[in-house]
Amino acid sequence: MPFPQLDIRKINNKQIVNFKMNRLIFLDIAKAVCIVLVVIGHYIPQDSPDWWKEINHIIYSFHMPLFLFASGVAYMLSQKRDYFAFIKKKVKRLMVPYFTVSVLIIGAKLLADNILTVENPKQIDSLLRMFYYPEAGYFLWFIWVLFLSFLIVPFFKSSKSRLALLAVSFVLFLGNLELTEIFCIRQFCQFFIFFILGAVAYDFKDKIKFLLNINALFYILAFAGLYYFCSEAKSLAGRAEMFIINIAGIAMVISTSRFIEKINLGKGMFLTVSSASYIIYLLHTTFEGFAKAVIAKTGLPLESDIIFASAAIIVIACGVIIPILLYNYIIKRYKATRFLFGLS
């Protein structure tokens, strides 16, 4: 089967993650890879060396499309109740944590503004703007796009209707329209295609299963070649070329994740990160920001590549490890925090 069901009994006896049936291990590994790439991509200090800027450019060419593609597949795997019950669940899962984190980030920045160097400082009226714009941090646009996707896709119940929706989303993607950013409508039009593509890929899983059996090295080389030749394109054709790069990046990570699953290489670690991926996404910029502020206070010469790389490792580790610790030892242990972070 191209999308095998997960046998919970095969997870190690420490029960690293409490999976549900119908989860795909390789997709969870891909989510873990992706969330680490997100954390890396959000460390972009001023005067970063050129090699770091290039790494970020590569990451940004596919990491959010991958997240949305995986969400589209997961949507097809999920048990869908009636529409309003489904949306209520997504409000609790997505929007309640969005507002929780928005208040925490804005509040922390207001309090820390006179103590540390705060990136993108906030004002008290930011607490109002967060209701229609990702005011606490631009990275939160993803939550609005995902929520809007869940609002729309359930109305398209057949594979044919989802194919038609895919065609419409592709036109929106190519158009790159300068629409309003209220409720992240512009970002939705740019990225919705990847969510619906994940759903359609699941619809036609039996027809495309051969793609999953191609060696991961092929996809890695294909992505590298496409990125090298197409990444600078700016025209309408460039949007189409960028879409191909996005898809190549998605295929590269998924095929690599299948390989990791097959050889059981650090699978427990990947699943641990994956289980906390949403919490990492919500909180990583806060802890990255504090780590960056502390490093800035030390006056370290970041123009040195070795010192810059060392600082990057520390900042990225804070962005990944601290949210995992909070998730395992605080957030999921208490009823209030489970509700505030969408776990109940």
Render each residue's pLDDT in the chain as its tens digit; 344 residues: 333 333 433 444 443 333 343 468 899 999 999 999 999 999 988 788 999 999 999 999 899 999 999 999 999 988 677 899 999 999 999 999 999 999 988 888 888 776 666 666 677 888 999 999 999 888 999 999 999 999 999 999 999 999 999 999 999 998 888 888 899 999 999 999 999 999 999 999 989 888 888 899 999 999 998 888 876 554 445 788 889 999 999 999 999 999 999 888 888 899 999 999 999 999 998 899 889 888 888 877 788 889 999 999 999 999 999 999 999 999 999 999 999 999 97
Q: What is the number of domains present in the chain?
A: 1
What pLDDT sits at residue 232? 58
Contact 276, 328 (CB under 8 A): yes
Tracing tokens 């036609």 back to the chain, one arrives at 204
| Helices and strands (H and E) in the chain: how many | 16, 0
Q: Give domain status of residue 1, yes or no.
A: no
Q: Identify whether 285 is part of a domain.
A: yes
Tokens of 37: 């790439």
Q: Is 252 exposed, middle or buried (0-12, 13-18, 19+ CB in 10 A)?
A: buried
Position 237 in a domain: yes
Q: Which 3 state secondary structure label does DSSP give 227?
A: helix
**Is the backbone of residue 176 left (phi > 0), alpha (psi -120 to 50) or beta?**
left
First vs last C-alpha separation in the chain = 32
Residue count of the chain, please give it. Answer: 344
Buried-state track 205-228, b at ≥16 Cβ within 10 A, e below 16:
beeeeeeeeeebeebbebbeebbe
Asked if residue 60 is part of any domain, the answer here is yes
Domain range for residue 294?
8-340
141 assigned to some structural domain: yes
In a domain, 78, yes or no: yes
Torsion of the alpha carbons at 67, 240, 57 and 283, rounded to the nearest 10: -20
One-letter amino acid identity for 28? D
Asked whether residue 3 is assigned to any structural domain, the reply reads no
Would you state the pLDDT for residue 17? 36
Q: Is residue 211 part of a domain?
A: yes
Check if the beta carbon of residue 193 is closer than 8 Å to that of residue 214. Answer: no
* Residue 56: exposure state from Cβ atoms within 10 A (0-12, 13-18, ≥19): middle
